[in-house]
Amino acid sequence: MITWRNGTVSGTRREWPGAVELDVLVDGMPPGGAPVRALAYPALTGYPKPGDRVLVNTTALDLGLGTGGYALVIAVPDRLPPDPVLPGHLVKARYSPLQACVLGADEQGSPHHGMLRDADDIGGMPVVVADLHSALPAVLAGVFSGAERPGAPPPASGDLPRVVYVMQDGGALPAWFSRTCATLREAGWLAATVTTGQSFGGDLETVTVHTGLLAARHALGADLAVVAQGPGNLGTGTRWGFSGVAAGEAVNAVAALGGRPVASLRVSDADPRERHRGVSHHSMTAYGRVALARSDVVVPALGGDFGDRVAREAARLGGRHEIVTVPVDGLAAALRACPARLSTMGRGLDEDLAYFLAAAAAGRHAGRLLR
């Protein structure tokens, strides 16, 4: 199940908040072999330095996974980090070898516990729900597309909505894995991240998506939230075997808490897999079967034969949801101004424009609900 290897850190590539990317020479490599890319989370392992011996998990690297194609540092055995001062007792990645103890915003002892203990409503806050993590920067591009400087909201502006990302645990568990979140935060596009369920590493930690939404609203002052899984996506090519099923459950959570769910469609005219062309079967299943609460399903007005196909397929969700057609004029420019790299399933903006326009249209609609 796990491919274990010993290695030596030969260099540091780059780092971002919560993570450091390394070059590691794995034991047993042929002489002159190239180092592998490895990722360490210093909060878990300490900070590896060149020359350190490291224990790494090379499973994802060996499988050639696109999103998670790293060797992951498990430990620096000769230089263990100091024992943590445990501020809380909420354990995430539970009963795995790297289970982590964090302070949950919703647990006793948290400064937010009193606020969240009886909190039961998010006051009509618009919440965009998306299948993939790659939708997050595109949604924000749409939210801010009507700003005075489209695509480049200043970090400190009282006129712009405060957006919080509520991260589900269907993809990566450490929020630190996401360079997208780090970049959006640095650019002032994203106010904070709340990690829910088994995911961890956010500005706030919560037990469920429900308390994540409540924390976003009441503890972090969000005007608008985005719910999606972390980087990575698990799918099996079956009707129900994919992690994005949780998008439908997120719609239910938003509605249960008195929010305004906005469903972002997963759309593509470039995916080689027929089940994801037009409106992906992920969206049709999550919103058409799993989401029991009513939401605004945003259909981008793409035009042409493909736009007609998307509108036709999305209309099948109309019995359960409100179908909202949103124009996409100006959104391509807003997407090009996004500070974070846009990529989904290895395809960039120009290779799968329809995908990013659909997510941006959902953000545009959610932003307009605030007016």
**Phi-psi group of 103: left, alpha or beta (phi > 0 → left; psi -120 to 50 → alpha; rest → beta):** beta
pLDDT greater than 70 at residue 273:
yes
CB neighbour list of residue 59: distance below 8 Å, 6 or more residues apart: 1, 2, 3
* Window from 29-43, 61-75, 109-123, 182-196 with minimum mean pLDDT: 61-75
Do the beta carbons of residue 128 and residue 226 sit within 8 Å? Answer: yes
Give the chain's end-to-end CA distance (angstroms, integer). 51
Question: At 187, is the secondary structure helix, strand, or coil?
Answer: helix
- Angle of helix 304-314 relative to helix 353-368, nearest 10 degrees, comes to 60
Residue corresponding to tokens 């939230």: 225
Within the chain, all domains assigned CATH 2.40.50.140 are found at 4-75
- Find the mean pLDDT for residues 139-161: 67
**The pLDDT of residue 149:** 42
**The pLDDT of residue 147:** 52
- Find the mean pLDDT for residues 265-285: 94
- Find the mean pLDDT for residues 103-122: 95
β-pair partners for 235: 242
The CATH architecture of the domain made up of 113-368 is 3-Layer(aba) Sandwich (3.40)
Residue by residue, DSSP assigns 234-265 as -B-SSSS-BGGGHHHHHHHHHHHTT-EEEEEP
> pLDDT tens digits for 309-350?
999 999 999 999 999 999 999 999 999 999 999 999 989 999
Residue burial 211-243, b: 16+ Cβ < 10 Å; e: rest:
bbbbbbbbbbebbbbbbbbbbbbeeeeeeeebb
Do the beta carbons of residue 124 and residue 258 sit within 8 Å? Answer: yes
**The pLDDT of residue 153:** 47
> pLDDT tens digits for 53-78?
999 999 888 887 655 679 999 999 99
- 61 compared with 11, residue with greater pLDDT: 11
Q: 4-75: which CATH topology?
A: OB fold (Dihydrolipoamide Acetyltransferase, E2P) (2.40.50)
Determine the Cα–Cα distance for residues 129 and 143; give it in Å rounded to an integer. 13
Nearest to 143 by CA among 217, 224, 228: 224
Within the chain, all domains assigned CATH 3.40.50 are found at 113-368
